Chain A
């Protein structure tokens, strides 16, 4: 049994799985049941200023279903908590007291002025929570009021607000980043400059999940109208992984702790975030889709996998994939693979042939003998090693990409003869 405990920016938890700031973490009743189920920590649903709470619409969620599977992508047009501030604060204090070993991070979003942040921090500190997370990510509803993504898209604001928070609290400050920006390193660097103890990413992505063709309105619809909402769930994971890797290998932010978020459904998704440097991971959609009980396999699966690899702790493999993330111009242009089809496994569906044929390489020949038996042969000289055929093949291990021993040395674009800008 490996040790799954984690420590990130001074916050500890018995396992790296936290529930992300969202409806599953919006009240004591929920969070306590999550802790009973085994979650290592929570980021409480984002709190706003004192005063009348926000008002939510109905309905609020949209789904991307694919081939009979529900919610491979998910979006929402909810706002921050719609419960009174003091109620939330009292409950946070009660839960932290009852569950001292779990990470209790409180997400915050108040208007972009120093006084507002100072006031809320003073009140939040009273709860005994472990850290705060600044929600600079919410892409709808709040940004129109100059909060959330409206702040997260302007690095200077991030830096300044983070700086205020560091001035007014001793609690570790996590800055939650919006992916609705072209270069994620900019807001991460700004958070770092402002003194952030960690960044959390990603928040949700601007989206319309579908258009109802009968009522001619985007989903979810509210009285016949719809608005763009925040996209999350398994479909966004690749975007999140890429953004995490950018921050993890950026010279300025490479030592900045990261709490990884976005589409984590199974333990191996979490392991991938950790391999790219994350110190904890956060989950929202999967918990909303199935309930808190998914923590059982998240913990057990990660544990069994770590045992099988001989990793004793999260630190043993955290960041292990970062050195292998590079930029395209550093990839070896002399490295070659070609497709190889295991005829014994082939079920004769023909997909490898047609995708190669119509994706322009024409490297898999299709033939049919007099008995109607189909066979597919790779034309080695035509195969560029793109691995499209391997990806579409429905049979595990039927098509594999085999390395060609060409004896050529490492050569990247910088030194390639075809590169007009090649350094002399």
Chain B
């Protein structure tokens, strides 16, 4: 059978999905912390989108003040626990660690961050207190990293927050999207619980903007509104047979990986992934871990142009994913409504830097095809109301996350900027601070 469940034993699947990096033990954490130079005006702090005082928290690990270390992290980034395992540190803090220059090896900041936050979470300790009640009430739309970060900071500042979330669970892509081997042990759900632990935040589940609620109404009912809708649409290939059996949107399947019993998922023998970003890597790696035999990830340009970092590419390769470049999908072949192969045209870059087809094709047999060619923001949920200005398909915001509407802020994937958890968290924090100023 080409597509089947349980290609691997439950034990084997569990083994495949263990943490990408095992948590550091005390000895490792101490030694790694001792490598940190406690730099002045440290480059890693500049490189962290949320500006965590990294040398400061690492010194606290060294002194054994682990709860203090975690608090230092969470003060700037309330999702410091998730970010510790999902941030592309190789392009952020760790990339600029001065130890790269002196020892060709950065301090493993992400893993130390996990060590500290795990320690605090294990005691179910709430390090933050709320300011006295301000009497203000703010609506947050979307309980993803952007929305929850905004809600937490607002609650800390003494405001009351109502969060409207279309899904039955909070966390956004932390819960439904990030690779399972980066987010084991219900870490997303536990983090949500921790964030709500501060009090003053109420989540209304299965309430969708544009359906159950409208922006116009929220603006009337609340003192301010924050929009953190994330991406609301996936890009299509525009080819025939896209609805054939075996063709999936990568993000939908990834959601199943995060929500379903892993051994219940359909897994192909020959799998093709189209795309060059981290979503493409994540689906390719995870389908391989689920037991697919041949997994090819095909990208239309060269390796250097890929959205996925070099480190992510390496993860794919060490997991046995074949990365093919310069191939543009031209046809999906199906028999009896079932996917059979995907055909690509070889591409090259012409002298003007444009990607052009060469006229030569290759075909890959496939019983599963995952489309990972990007998500986008669909402003449909805003269409029943006066909407904020949209530029290049995203909600336009200024440096304080203010939209063109006077009492509306936005952040995360629905606004411009890098689509990363840590960026969404920072957007939410900045918006909360700006809302706080506005409501004073």
With A290-B38, A301-B60 as contacts: A396 and B65 at CB distance below 8 Å:
no
| Residues of chain B with a CB closer than 8 A to A266's CB | 62-64
Task: Tally chain B residues at the interface, Cβ within 8 Å.
Answer: 15
Give A268 to B40 CA distance when docked, in angstroms.
Answer: 23
Q: How far is the CB of B104 from chain A (nearest CB, A)?
A: 15
* Residues of chain B in range 52-70 having any CB-CB distance to chain A below 8 Å: 56, 59-60, 62-65, 67-68
Decide if B24 is an interface residue (CB 8 Å cutoff): no
Contact yes or no, B27 A394, CB < 8 A:
yes
Contact yes or no, B63 A304, CB < 8 A:
no
Decide if B26 is an interface residue (CB 8 Å cutoff): yes
With A297-B68, A304-B68 as contacts: A267 and B63 at CB distance below 8 Å:
yes
Give A297 to B65 CA distance when docked, in angstroms.
Answer: 8
Decide if B305 is an interface residue (CB 8 Å cutoff): no
Which of A267, A291, A293 is the one whose CB lies under 8 Å from B65? A267
Decide if B34 is an interface residue (CB 8 Å cutoff): yes
Give A291 to B27 CA distance when docked, in angstroms.
Answer: 27
Decide if A69 is an interface residue (CB 8 Å cutoff): yes
Decide if A410 is an interface residue (CB 8 Å cutoff): no
Query: Nearest residue in B to A394 (C-beta to C-beta)?
Result: B27
Q: How far is the CB of A71 from chain B (nearest CB, A)?
A: 12
Return the CB mask of A251-294 against B: 1 if under 8 Å, else 0.
00000000000000011100000000000000000000011011
Give A293 to B56 CA distance when docked, in angstroms.
Answer: 9
Q: How far is the CB of B150 from chain A (nearest CB, A)?
A: 26
Contact yes or no, A297 B56, CB < 8 A:
yes
Give A159 to B71 CA distance when docked, in angstroms.
Answer: 49
Decide if A183 is an interface residue (CB 8 Å cutoff): no
Decide if A395 is an interface residue (CB 8 Å cutoff): yes
Query: Nearest residue in A to B38 (C-beta to C-beta)?
Result: A290
Give A300 to B66 CA distance when docked, in angstroms.
Answer: 11
Give A300 to B116 CA distance when docked, in angstroms.
Answer: 15
Give A300 to B59 CA distance when docked, in angstroms.
Answer: 12
Most buried by B among A69, A268, A297, A300: A297
With A291-B40, A297-B59 as contacts: A69 and B34 at CB distance below 8 Å:
yes
With A69-B34, A290-B38 as contacts: A297 and B60 at CB distance below 8 Å:
yes
Give A296 to B58 CA distance when docked, in angstroms.
Answer: 12
- Grouping DSSP codes into helix (H, G, I), strand (E, B) and loop, the B interface class, with mixed when no group exceeds half, is helix
Q: How far is the CB of A246 from chain B (nearest CB, A)?
A: 27
* Residues of chain A in range 291-311 having any CB-CB distance to chain B below 8 Å: 291, 293-294, 296-297, 300-301, 304-305
With A294-B59, A394-B27, A395-B27 as contacts: A301 and B38 at CB distance below 8 Å:
no
Contact yes or no, B34 A297, CB < 8 A:
no
Give A339 to B64 CA distance when docked, in angstroms.
Answer: 26
Which of A69, A301, A395, A396 is the one whose CB lies under 8 Å from B63? A301
* Residues of chain B in range 16-40 having any CB-CB distance to chain A below 8 Å: 26-27, 34, 38, 40
| Residues of chain A with a CB closer than 8 A to B26's CB | 396
Give A294 to B27 CA distance when docked, in angstroms.
Answer: 23
Give A293 to B65 CA distance when docked, in angstroms.
Answer: 16
Give A301 to B56 CA distance when docked, in angstroms.
Answer: 12
Q: How far is the CB of B217 from chain A (nearest CB, A)?
A: 42
| Residues of chain A with a CB closer than 8 A to B60's CB | 297, 300-301
Give A377 to B34 CA distance when docked, in angstroms.
Answer: 32
Q: How far is the CB of A163 from chain B (nearest CB, A)?
A: 41
Give A180 to B67 CA distance when docked, in angstroms.
Answer: 40
Q: How far is the CB of A264 from chain B (nearest CB, A)?
A: 11
Q: How far is the CB of A30 from chain B (nearest CB, A)?
A: 15
Give A363 to B425 CA distance when docked, in angstroms.
Answer: 57
Q: How far is the CB of A181 from chain B (nearest CB, A)?
A: 32
| Residues of chain B with a CB closer than 8 A to A293's CB | 56
Most buried by A among B27, B63, B71: B63
Give A92 to B56 CA distance when docked, in angstroms.
Answer: 30
Contact yes or no, B56 A296, CB < 8 A:
yes
| Residues of chain B with a CB closer than 8 A to A305's CB | 65
Q: How far is the CB of B131 from chain A (nearest CB, A)?
A: 16
Q: How far is the CB of A311 from chain B (nearest CB, A)?
A: 15
Q: How far is the CB of B24 from chain A (nearest CB, A)?
A: 13
Q: How far is the CB of A309 from chain B (nearest CB, A)?
A: 13
| Residues of chain B with a CB closer than 8 A to A394's CB | 27
Return the CB mask of B145-168 against A: 1 if under 8 Å, else 0.
000000000000000000000000
| Residues of chain A with a CB closer than 8 A to B59's CB | 294, 297
Query: Nearest residue in A to B27 (C-beta to C-beta)?
Result: A396
Query: Nearest residue in A to B30 (C-beta to C-beta)?
Result: A396
* Residues of chain A in range 231-259 having any CB-CB distance to chain B below 8 Å: none
Give A290 to B27 CA distance when docked, in angstroms.
Answer: 23
* Selected A-B contacts with CB under 8 Å, 12 pairs: A69-B34, A266-B63, A267-B65, A268-B64, A291-B40, A294-B59, A296-B56, A297-B68, A301-B63, A301-B65, A305-B65, A395-B27
Query: What would 10 more interface pairs be, CB under 8 Å, given A300-B60, A301-B60, A301-B63?
Result: A266-B62, A267-B65, A268-B63, A296-B56, A297-B60, A297-B65, A301-B68, A304-B67, A305-B65, A395-B27
- Seen from chain A, the residues whose Cβ lies within 8 Å of a Cβ on chain B are 69, 266-268, 290-291, 293-294, 296-297, 300-301, 304-305, 394-396
Q: Which 7 pairs, one residue from A and one from B, show the smallest C-beta to C-beta distance? A: A301-B65, A266-B63, A300-B68, A301-B63, A297-B60, A304-B68, A304-B67
